[in-house]
Structure 1
Amino acid sequence: MRIFVLGAGATGSLLAQLLERQGHHLLCGDRDLERARRFLGKKSRIPIVKVNARNLRGIVRAARGCHLIVNASASVYNEIVMRAALRLRAHYLDLSSHLTRHPFKAEQLRYAKRFEKKNRTAAINAGVAPGLTNLLVRRAADALDRVESVHIRLYECAESDDPISQWSPEVSFDEAVSHPRVYRNGKFLLKKRFAELEKFRFPDPVGKVRVVLAAQDEVGTLPHFIPMREMDVKIGGNEIDRLRRWQRLGKLNRSRGLVRLRFPKTPTPQMVAKLIRQGVLQNARFALAVLVQGEKHGPKHDQRLLLRSDCAFPT
């Protein structure tokens, strides 16, 4: 399969290398060719073309002849890239939603019928959170006859004296200054940032940590497909604790803009490896838990069940 990956940064470059190892023909597009080559690695033979994600025609020209467009650029460009995929009659995959057109419904869903008419697939939010979290919720919902509530809990931790961006700093900043979405009593609501603190126990070695509401994309998709009464997403770990401190000090708001000291540029894989060897970055850990509560009908009595799924890295 010929695949075009738009955005050869931390995520896009790794996806491209993985797909190439699986035998696919890859082409990457990025506005900064030098930076993209650093992320792909000097030994990589994957070709890179210069293309701006804001330019619909440029994307169409660059991706012509490809069967799949992987959108690893910023989610603000989702709709432009989806229109390019439709023009090319290509399949489409992205990693997250922007949720500015409608705060409670992923913007990609507007294009579902257009892709269906062209007999093409658009897989959205295909990362870990959102992505894997959505699949785990769907699996639990399929095992129940009625879903009452969905709670997703995330944990991220990387020990370092100074902030180190492990993915797009622009995305991190946007999530940090956005109001979390929740679904309560069948209605969508916006809550205060870092609100509703609770203590949640992840499997060892993480254990019990404080988690707070987060502006995650799952709330903008799952309630539209799975009938439920309640849903929220919370996150914990030293990174979210650092953001909470900045917020209390008045150093974290949209009007101040993105400060590079707090949201530095994403290091390349080679730079991350160097930071680990030097002991600057250590003990990085990620965990997620998905809890789905509902009812399962029985021959004599209905059962109220709580189904939980856990994932962690490193395992």
Structure 2
Amino acid sequence: MRTPQAPIPSGFDAFTTAADVLRGVDLRDKTAIVTGGYSGLGRETVRVLLLAGARVIVPTRDVPRAKAALAHIDGADVQPMDLLDPASIDAFAARFLATEQPLHLLVNSAGIMALPELTRDARGFEAQFATNHLGHVQLVAKLWPALCRAQGARVVSVSSLGHRFSPVVFDDLHYQRRPYDPFGAYGQSKTANILFAVALDERGKDHGVRAFSLHPGSIVGTGLDRHVPIAALEAVGMLDADGKPIIAPTKGFKTVEQGAATQVWCATSPQLAGKGGVYCENVDIAPLRVVPPGTTFAIRDASIITGVLDYAVDPEAAAHLWEVSRALLGLGDLEA
């Protein structure tokens, strides 16, 4: 039976921080991998997981930069990996599997947003789809034996309310026949993150692997928004007249500590035991929003600030994306 896409409720809210979620939680027997773990929400996730006793590995393309960014956080294990390089992902996973350790928590927090120009990787894949979705699919597939070995693992995909900008356009994933749209491409990749959690949970639950996706909130200054025009941030009310971030959690505008709370909750909370395949926000399972087919939203459209659109949790679309992604990456079936 699928977990209902509806609030539990959890007792937490938009003001909850990652540290609040982990208060009293002991993770000393857990191993976690956090992509994007040297900046923004990923770094806060790494910090609190370490404080709770977990062993935390941070794979990154730029090891010196990551080590410098994490210098004040004791215990983070920085290792090389590039989400746009299949060989690099395979090498990272092989090193981890060679340790024969179980992997309890995999938080896919790395991502890029709204690249102003159409950018492709070496395979010809659109860069946002390749980084935000396909790189993480390959990472999960290669680490699958370690996830199964944990006998109670969670895979958490950091998506976004930005999934409302676009469904997955299966007949033109890589903008070969349609005009490139920076936010459309971002939205497609974020919808893919949600669909991936739906498909992965369906395949993983019998192996003790549950999957979740989430919207962390809108946070200025994490680095993700480097390509977003200041005018666009002002238009949605994220910046004040002096250009400083506005913190208003009830409107979705959060601190980094508040923004990391939902992904940490998805990764660790006993409230989610026996559940999976759902999209979360504000440290709870999000409500479902049904919209007419073809409905999408622009970045300036704040008419929907909560919930997950129905096309992003559709099980048929999730199954189709799973097969398309496997074909693009040349992956076989998941094997424990």
TM-score range, shorter chain: 0.3 to 0.5
TM-score of the aligned structures, taking structure 1 as reference length: 0.43
Between Structure 1 and Structure 2, which shows a larger proportion of helix residues?
Answer: 2
Larger Cα Rg: Structure 1 or Structure 2? Answer: 1
Greater strand content: 1
Higher RCO, Cα 8 Å, sep 6+: 2
TM-score by length of 2: 0.41
